Structure 1
């Protein structure tokens, strides 16, 4: 379905950009390896071509007026919904644009749309949970606030029009309870999340997870060695997922205890999760004994239970990876995360 969406986009406007893409991306404004600026530029190009190619800069004032007057979202055009989104609170320099787009649109429109695209940029994930692009989903930006401990998660499907965002609850929600999603990966350490949210979206998160992580920071020490880390994994697994059955069938996640005791807090060190992920990946693609690989997978699964809310998709992915080395296990992990 992704290829169908790409074909439709090509017919609508991408061919205008793609003819000039290699020249555009080789401009001096782009530093080698600066994927962030490139993605911002391409996203802005897409928004201008998709929603403003027939109006130039003339839609700017109309769009802001409609948004400011509280018009019903369902009854105003996509471009006006875009321009009614909150801009980044700090002045933003627009990313580079191909010359033909810079000439077609006013500086005022480009600046307004750029500030809003930066502040409402969503990472698009494939069905295998790998990031494949960026997009602006105006209604999602208007309806769902951020939390590092969200009550829902965004997943994507694809049709001929492009990616479609679906919001799926991670828990039972009470009437009137706010539905929150996360704008960033909640696996990042507190200080990394704080910096990312401030620089990208211009706010500080005060959710339950942030408050807890902030209080724990002074108690988290850097593990002295990789051997010391690995020696903690059996205790970690027994503590977090004591009821995990490795045989039989189940469609329910095991009972977990995501609160680590003091002697395991070192595993929350910012350097630990990347270390464990890499160790498991190397073991899974080498001749490492199956039991050792499986142990690393379960440790990674336990850490995901600590870091992510229940039924978060990455837990399901880790579940699938960690049990794939046990031929006696017949669980259906991805259904756990996405059903």
Structure 2
């Protein structure tokens, strides 16, 4: 924890949670609140052999990963990453790993639980291999000590998975049970450009930050060869001194009932944020008839166009509570998934006029559901910019080429503003590089 800087945050008592994190001073949108290295991580099954098992980095083109000669199941950027993971925990599990992953106990787990089983194995081995993480060490700042203060998972019916070692017995040790009791409600899914690649443990972040469906901060991950992934908690809105800092444990666009069930079953609380409170008041909402739907979508698109799609994250306020009652049907649980699918399909199939209409409607819905500067708004705006650019190239009827190019530029401005607040994260390149490339293409096509 030596790299941790807590000059921006302090804790105070919370009426329902153990405590809450508040800002020590005023914070600006885009400011890093804390930077926390991972305690342990484990790659998703789909990422094994594709990324380095230690630092999470992707190899450079033409530069293959180095495979562990012992188990043949771990891959590394190079000798430095391999040596660091060997010392941390791999030497305790290397010779047992192949038998472990082939066991019936491991194979019977869902993929998500397999990742957590490996993560638990890494964590236990890390405790045994690293003197600094000795449970008997009286240091309340160590990752182990902080992790032990986290609230245990209390859901009925959960079971501790087998751990890699000399025995793959299903019967867990007391130490494994104690650690795993805190896995379900405290682990994080690591992502690069919002695409998941690993699970990881960041005890202090779990200890500090509570959830909100209208958060003023989000997490991102920085990857650097030879180092474990580092989590940064970034403010996406200005935060006043003594204001609580919250992050989203789940996607705020998940339907209310599903979201509440997952928060209750996985984290043990009922969310009463402004979004959940508003949605409870208006539920259940009817799904609009096909003839009404087009009119409601047109109204939503007009609202977005009137506010200006290039305005900073669309609004300085959270818009959902201001949604007119006649638009409530657009919050029906099935509407957002169907609209998202329609945008993806038409954009992929080259039906750009339909894609741009569906995409603008989706942007309007995102601007209601998500808070200011939420990264998914920026990612979607980038997809809209690329769609408008393709429409200009193809000469899609309905608007002139200049109008399509102007449309693409406005979406790019929004995307740059929102993703600029988040800043670079994950793998090299990604959306900011795409934004820069498309900006140059649009500049070559003439003035805005």
Q: TM-score, normalised by structure 1?
A: 0.82
Within 2, Cα distance between the matches of 1:46 and 1:270?
A: 39
Could you say if the C-alpha distance between residues 322 and 14 of structure 1 is closer, same or farther in structure 2, counting changes exceeding 3 Å? farther
Within 2, Cα distance between the matches of 1:235 and 1:33?
A: 47
Q: What's 2:261 paired with?
A: 195
Q: What's 1:214 paired with?
A: 280
Residue pairs, 1:129-148, within 5 angstroms: 129-148=194-213
- Deviations for 1:178-197, whole angstroms, at most 9, x for unmatched residues? 10111111111111111101
Unaligned 5+ runs, structure 2: 1-50, 57-75, 390-404, 422-448
Task: Tell me if the contact between 1:311 and 1:338 (Cα under 8 Å) persists in the aligned partners.
Answer: no
Within 2, Cα distance between the matches of 1:268 and 1:155?
A: 28
Within 1, Cα distance between the matches of 2:202 and 2:244?
A: 19
- Deviation of 1:115 after TM superposition, in Å, equals 0.8
1:278 is paired with a residue whose SS is helix
Within 2, Cα distance between the matches of 1:164 and 1:32?
A: 32
Could you say if the C-alpha distance between residues 314 and 54 of structure 1 is closer, same or farther in structure 2, counting changes exceeding 3 Å? same
Structure 1 window deviating more from structure 2 (82-91 vs 307-316): it is: 82-91
Within 2, Cα distance between the matches of 1:54 and 1:168?
A: 30
- Higher RCO (CA 8 Å, separation ≥ 6 residues): 2
The one of 277, 295, 298 aligned to 1:234? 298
Within 1, Cα distance between the matches of 2:109 and 2:173?
A: 27
Within 2, Cα distance between the matches of 1:176 and 1:135?
A: 29
Within 2, Cα distance between the matches of 1:313 and 1:167?
A: 13
Task: Tell me if the contact between 1:51 and 1:78 (Cα under 8 Å) persists in the aligned partners.
Answer: no
Q: Is 1:5 paired with 2:52?
A: no
Q: TM-score, normalised by structure 2?
A: 0.64
Within 2, Cα distance between the matches of 1:338 and 1:192?
A: 31
- Deviation of 1:286 after TM superposition, in Å, equals 0.7
Unaligned 5+ runs, structure 1: none
Residue pairs, 1:240-319, within 5 angstroms: 240-244=304-308, 252-255=312-315, 257-258=319-320, 259-288=322-351, 290-319=352-381
Cα RMSD (Å) of the superposition?
Answer: 2.9
- Deviations for 1:135-172, whole angstroms, at most 9, x for unmatched residues? 11111111111111111111111123222111111211
Within 2, Cα distance between the matches of 1:45 and 1:181?
A: 28
Q: Is 1:46 paired with 2:109?
A: no
After TM superposition, where is structure 1 displaced by more than 6 Å over at least 4 residues in a row?
Answer: none
- Deviation of 1:84 after TM superposition, in Å, equals 2.5
Greater percentage in helix = 1
Could you say if the C-alpha distance between residues 93 and 302 of structure 1 is closer, same or farther in structure 2, counting changes exceeding 3 Å? same
Q: What's 1:117 paired with?
A: 183
In the comparison of the two structures, how many residue pairs are matched? 317
Within 2, Cα distance between the matches of 1:199 and 1:158?
A: 31
Structure 1 window deviating more from structure 2 (258-267 vs 275-284): it is: 258-267
Within 2, Cα distance between the matches of 1:222 and 1:33?
A: 37
Within 1, Cα distance between the matches of 2:125 and 2:358?
A: 47
Within 2, Cα distance between the matches of 1:264 and 1:251?
A: 22
2:129 is paired with a residue whose SS is coil
Within 2, Cα distance between the matches of 1:229 and 1:24?
A: 53
